[in-house]
């Protein structure tokens, strides 16, 4: 089990308009109680070029919120991209 994937799934559930409030509450409780509010240590084995590519794709995806695009742009700047 990859804790980052578990937290990511619960965070996605929180932002999914098609899930029930009960389901969202459960996800929030899991994140808060089992994962310290969503703080998960990275294993550090991610390829920086793959990360940058994903962030660049996010900035161009019409289905992504403006907030997510701005966050991706900031992360790219932080990476020196």
Question: What pLDDT, in 10s, does the model give residues 1-22?
Answer: 778 888 889 989 999 999 999 9
d(CA 10, CA 55): 20
- Extract the tokens encoding 29: 């409780």
pLDDT above 90: residue 23: yes
Q: Please, are residues 4 and 42 in contact by the beta-carbon 8 Å criterion?
A: yes
pTM for the model: 0.48
Q: Please, are residues 79 and 48 in contact by the beta-carbon 8 Å criterion?
A: yes
d(CA 64, CA 14): 16
21 vs 51 pLDDT, higher one: 21
Mean pLDDT for all residues in the chain: 86
Burial class (CB in 10 A: 0-12, 13-18, 19+), 29: exposed
Q: What is the pLDDT of residue 3?
A: 81
2 vs 64 pLDDT, higher one: 64
């Amino acid at each position: 089990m990859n804790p980052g994937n578990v937290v990511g799934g619960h965070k996605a559930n929180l932002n999914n308009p098609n899930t029930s409030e009960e389901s969202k509450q459960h996800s929030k409780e899991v994140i808060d109680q089992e994962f310290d509010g969503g703080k998960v240590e990275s294993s550090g084995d991610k390829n920086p070029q793959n990360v940058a590519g994903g962030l660049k794709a996010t900035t161009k995806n019409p289905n992504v919120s403006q907030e997510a695009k701005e966050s991706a742009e900031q992360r790219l700047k932080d990476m020196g991209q």
